[in-house]
Amino acid sequence: MSTIFSRVRELARSDRRDEPRTADESQREFVCHCKHVEYKTVERAIRKGARSISDLQRQTEACTRCFGCRHELERLLDARLGDRYERQSTITLPPELRRVVAPRPMYMPVFAGFDGREIDTRVIVFNWDGPPHPVPFRLDLLRMDGERVRVWDLSVASGCSTVVDLDRNEVGEVLPEGVGVVKLVLESEEVGSLRPYFQFVTPTSITSTHEKKGPVDIHRQKDRNYHWIFPIGSCSSAEDAYFFCTNTQMTPMEGQRLVWQNDAGESAETPFPTLGFSQSACVPLHEAFPALREGRECGAVRLDPATHTVAGFMIRHDPERELWRVQHL
């Protein structure tokens, strides 16, 4: 296995636009990586009268693509203006900027020592048959509240893979709870068959699944809502079950609950936290619904009422074998 990954990294290394950079290193220059807006540009706009995120969007074009710099812009506004900072509960685009085409984001969970366990995450971006030029992309590491804490600028050539290890040594300091989210940002229209995979790596196993291409327009909520449903089977030993979800739309997720219904039609529910754009939750279902931990019932868990597009995963853990399984929404 190590030989295979060494070869994959060799293939990818020559295609990288840059080595991975921490948020501290790269954001000394750029506050907005999508539009390459520098800190000094934002500082100048605040001195000239910008009082809100919307003002900065209009004056600098920061926070008009993937919105990953929202938290840093809020920090700057609050530090410079205090009570004069005009806070916004929801960040969106001013009307005159809504013609801007958004990048395609994809979200994947990151476990790096989650729940005190020996578990790490690896992201593999595989380009089976792409355009003749390498496809550029960016990886943003987010905390569960959506704050970006690390950035990688990368690319992958046709027929190659790029591998990023998000293990405890690499990201443990910025994810103190051992859990976060990686957001892959694609701005190129021509990406070929590019597909990102993520793996949970433990001393006894590697669990792998892939993420799908995200919505092209993150500024607009889809008209159609969905009941996100996970089937759950019985098992012979006790297992933990987690519902991991990221809000991929600008519209907040509010008033949702998780409903467990067994094959006999009996149901129970637990509240689901409110999530803003790019914010995530990892709900331990086995604590809310004991039947899941005991493995004695079959059924399904659904997010209710119906809501817009999310990135969701059901994650199961067998503590006896230290085996993790991931089911994509």
Q: What is the pLDDT of residues 236-281, one digit of tens each?
A: 778 899 999 999 887 889 999 999 999 988 999 999 999 988 899 9
Share of the chain above pLDDT 90, in %: 38
Residue 309 scores a pLDDT above 60: yes
Q: What is the pLDDT of residue 109?
A: 95
Give the residue extent of every domain in the chain. Answer: 2-19+103-210, 35-97, 229-328
Residue 222 scores a pLDDT above 80: no
In whole angstroms, give the CA distance from residue 37 to residue 70. Answer: 13
DSSP assignment of 187-226: --S--TTEEEEEEEE-SS-EEEEE-----S-TTS--S--B
Residue 141 scores a pLDDT above 80: yes
User: Which CATH number does 229-328 carry?
Assistant: 2.60.40
DSSP 83: G
- Which helix (H) or strand (E) covers residue 162, if one does? strand 160-166
Top-level CATH class of 2-19+103-210?
A: mainly beta
Task: Extract the runs of DSSP E, i.e. beta strands, from 205-322.
Answer: 206-210, 229-232, 240-247, 257-262, 267-271, 280-284, 299-304, 310-318
Structure-model confidence comparison of residues 225 and 260, the more confident one? 260
pTM of the model: 0.80
Q: Average model confidence (pLDDT) for the chain?
A: 82
